[in-house]
Structure 1
Amino acid sequence: MNPRSAALRLLDIIEAIERVQTVMADLSLDAYETDWQRQWVVERGIEIISEASRHLSDEIKTRHPEIPWKKVAGIGNVLRHDYESVAAAIIWKLARIDLGLLEQACREELRALRDSGLSD
């Protein structure tokens, strides 16, 4: 895998997480469930995260076994193909709680690429 490509994918994930977290800041589950615009923004951000994660190397994924990589990739399929069964509570929890660990792992990998000079 081209290291620049990995850096760009990591940046895509980090940016999408930041945007999702901005939209979700201080938003209760009840408020999220009734706000279709925020739901669409959050779901789009998760789709981007999902797709970008599919292009990360197995090496990166192996270094972060705490991340459920198959689930990260799979949620995009659910949002695209089985959207009518998406539970707002699951997306809300994912956005408010679970994305932090993924963001941390991606920032570590991006930092390592930059430190090694491979992100240019």
Structure 2
Amino acid sequence: IALDKAEQRELAENIYEEALEEKMIHPWKRSFDNDGKQIRAMDLHQFSKPMAKIAVRSVIDSLLTIIHPSHDMTENLIIIVGKGKGSEGGKALLTPVVVNMLLEEYDIESYIDETNTGRIIV
């Protein structure tokens, strides 16, 4: 969070990548799509807003470099952000952060899953 506030994006992303490699964080999980097909989704439920942004940047950057993508580009990227049930005021806090960041930083359109408003589809 402090690195995000200090606008140290690259350093924050490096620390995030190291935490992934050391298996200190586990953003990927198996879930199911609307048809019951098993999918791999990025689960940001427990992430802060800055941490969620770092995680999404990490996967999008990996897809753009294509050297070691962390997601199968032939499939939709599903980002689980939650519905806000556990948030103060019951509002989804991560949804607008992630959707706006994707659009502003990457010019990527995303949408909220109509059958599960706690998911963003990229």
User: TM bucket by the smaller chain?
Assistant: under 0.3
TM-score (norm. length: structure 1): 0.26
Structure with greater proportional strand content: 2
Which of the pair has the greater relative contact order for Cα pairs under 8 Å at 6+ separation?
1
TM-score (norm. length: structure 2): 0.26
